[in-house]
Amino acid sequence: MSLDMDMNILAIDDSGTMRVMFRQYLNKAGFPNITLATDGIDALEKLEKEGPFQLIISDWNMPKMDGLEFLKEVRKHAAFKEIPFIMATAQGDKTQQEVAREAGSNGHVPKPFDEIELKNAIEKAFSKEDADSAPSTHIPEIRDGKVVIRLGHIQITDHLALGILKHWIDAGTISPEKFILETERLPGWNPVQEKLETGEVSGAMVLAPIAMDLFAYNVPIRLVLFAHKNGSGFVRSSRYEEGPFEEKEGFYKYKVINIPHKMSIHNMLAHKYLTDIGLKPGVPGQKGINVRFEVVPPIKMPPIMKEDDSVGGFIVAEPICTRAASSGLGSMEFTSGAMWPDHPCCVVALRQELIHQQPEAVQELTELLVKAGRFVSENKKGAAEIALKFLDPEGKLGLSLPVLLQVLSQKNGITMDDLYPSIEDLDKIQNYMYHKMGIGKLIDLNAFVDLRFADRAIGQQSAGAA
């Protein structure tokens, strides 16, 4: 069925920044009639006094009445219970999605999202098909006797080993025997997660907690390699540098900290850092918090911090944080590698169908990614030149060679010379997030991590170097 683009939409979020973004994204998607509310109680009043509404889109984590409580109230009212309801929320893990669906939601769009993802969620909510009925099978394509390996990624330095490999293949320096490499640059983590889940890609460079969460819900993927170690930074706003803050606790108290995704090492490290200095960080709606986490798209973090005086800082992958700090927008509070030396972040996750059917191609891919990672460590200038084209081919991010060189040369910064998957480090991540933050599920990491390819690839590289 065709959507009524003139329908009245009620959008609810307690964050002023997110309400502005709601209006902007919905307008860009073609929906002009938007009413905004600040929490569930405000939304109920608007439903009764300013309706009728044909669609509700609500944040989850809000004070007074959160999105889940609001959803349950809506479904109790005869006049409102049939209105399509979408959760647009930082609660992007599969567990919370199930909770919302069981309470009566018609769909979800995890933060951070854009107008395309929001419109797709609206279309699914109004369709008669189950929003989660997309096929979850990946059929490896064979072309010219080789398997096509299509890998998703986003525009961050974390995924540079893939960029190096793609550059080598495009330049004819390397010609893989078993596979054809295709890369798909995606606008954010949610499209990466969706394509990995539905099998639209063979694999992806993806945040480790996202991959673990998908595995916990029986998505047939395996981790074969780390994509990098370290590589993120926490930027403190320069807006308050002259303020009366003698201690870091006083600076960050009652401020907003932006993170790129709930299921991320960034969320974990920000939580640990702020907790260690005596604060109680969390998402809106949690009791007793005095630092508020908001999930926003990585590339929007600098402009949001510049415009919103409630934002005290953000944590994000390179090169975004270094560029923001070098522009004077903020200062680097810490690099993630200084807080947890050589920690994992993004991983190489592949669909199980590819691994089963084309193990030799997976082995070759793994070996070449290991080689590309070592090139980044050994030839920083050459890697930075390739990164400039791979990360910012259209020049929209405003990256420069000096900034990328600074990122690759930074003390405690990103490294790619050792991509061997450490099960112990992954266990540290899942245990902290599950026991300290109440996020995700505990999984059998020995079943999730397939070490066969890394064992052989890194053993061969070490022998070759010797």
Edge-to-edge order in the sheet of strand 311-317: 281-282, 291-295, 256-259, 311-317, 232-237, 330-335
Q: For residue 63, give the CATH number of its domain.
A: 3.40.50.2300
The radius of gyration of the chain from alpha carbons, rounded to an integer in Å, stands at 22
Residue 133 lies in a domain: no
Mean predicted lDDT score pLDDT of the chain: 90
* pLDDT level of residue 456 (50, 70, 90 thresholds): very high
Same domain, 13 and 107: yes
- Could you please report the per-residue DSSP string of 178-191? SEEEEEEE-SSHHH
Q: Are 91 and 190 in contact (CB under 8 A)?
A: no
Range in 8-12, 143-147, 307-311 the model is least confident about: 307-311
H or E stretch covering 69: helix 67-76
Task: Output the CA–CA distances (angstroms, integers) from residue 343 to 81, 100, 121, 215, 269, in the order listed.
Answer: 46, 33, 34, 21, 10
Residue 223 scores a pLDDT above 70: yes
Residue 176 lies in a domain: yes
Same domain, 307 and 444: no
Mark which of 62, 94, 126 sits at the end of a domain: 126
Total domains, the chain: 3
Same domain, 111 and 202: no
Alpha carbon 372 to chain centroid, angstroms:
23
Encode pLDDT of 342-365 as tens digits.
999 999 999 999 999 999 999 999
Task: Output the CA–CA distances (angstroms, integers) from residue 68 to 42, 94, 268, 369, in the order listed.
Answer: 14, 15, 24, 43
Same domain, 372 and 331: no
Same domain, 358 and 461: yes
Q: Are strands 256-259 and 291-295 parallel, antiparallel or unpaired?
A: parallel
Same domain, 296 and 320: yes
Which residues are within 8 A (CB) of 116 and not within 5 positions of it... i.e. 6 or more apart? 29, 187
In three-state secondary structure terms, 155 is: coil
pLDDT, mean of residues 40-50: 92
Same domain, 75 and 166: no
Which residues are within 8 A (CB) of 442 and not within 5 positions of it... i.e. 6 or more apart? 430, 431, 434
Q: Give the whole-angstrom CA distance, residue 191 versus residue 167.
A: 24
Residue 67 lies in a domain: yes
Between 215 and 16, residue with greater pLDDT = 215
Residue 2 lies in a domain: no
- Measure the CA angle with vertex 256, ends 254 and 257; round to 5°: 125
Encode pLDDT of 393-444 as tens digits.
888 777 889 989 999 999 999 999 999 999 999 999 999 999 999 888 999 9
The reported pLDDT for the residue numbered 241 is 59
Residue 460 scores a pLDDT above 70: no
Range in 134-138, 172-176, 249-253 the model is least confident about: 134-138
Q: Are 202 and 140 in contact (CB under 8 A)?
A: yes
Residue 304 lies in a domain: yes
Residue 265 scores a pLDDT above 90: yes
pLDDT, mean of residues 123-148: 79
User: pLDDT > 70: what percent of the chain?
Assistant: 94
* pLDDT level of residue 129 (50, 70, 90 thresholds): low
Q: Give the whole-angstrom CA distance, residue 422 versus residue 95.
A: 25
The reported pLDDT for the residue numbered 463 is 41
Q: Are 441 and 259 in contact (CB under 8 A)?
A: no
Domain that holds residue 18: 9-126
Range in 104-113, 259-268, 332-341, 376-385 the model is least confident about: 104-113
pLDDT, mean of residues 294-323: 90
Residue 211 lies in a domain: yes
Residue 132 lies in a domain: no
The reported pLDDT for the residue numbered 425 is 98
Same domain, 376 and 460: yes
Residue 391 scores a pLDDT above 90: no
Q: Give the whole-angstrom CA distance, residue 211 versus residue 320.
A: 23
Residue 130 scores a pLDDT above 80: no
Mark which of 339, 357, 376 sits at the end of a domain: 339
Q: For residue 302, give the CATH number of its domain.
A: 3.40.190.10
* pLDDT level of residue 465 (50, 70, 90 thresholds): very low
- What is the Cβ-side half-sphere exposure of residue 74, based on CA atoms within 13 angstroms? 35
In three-state secondary structure terms, 253 is: coil
Handedness of CA 135, 201, 121, 298 (dihedral sign): positive
Residue 255 lies in a domain: yes
Same domain, 328 and 239: yes
Name the token pair of 367.
Answer: 């070996």
Between 445 and 51, residue with greater pLDDT = 445
Burial 316-327 (b: 16+ CB within 10 A, else e): bbbbbbbbbbee
Same domain, 320 and 260: yes
Residue 194 scores a pLDDT above 80: yes
The reported pLDDT for the residue numbered 83 is 93
The reported pLDDT for the residue numbered 124 is 87
The reported pLDDT for the residue numbered 454 is 97
Same domain, 180 and 102: no
Same domain, 95 and 26: yes
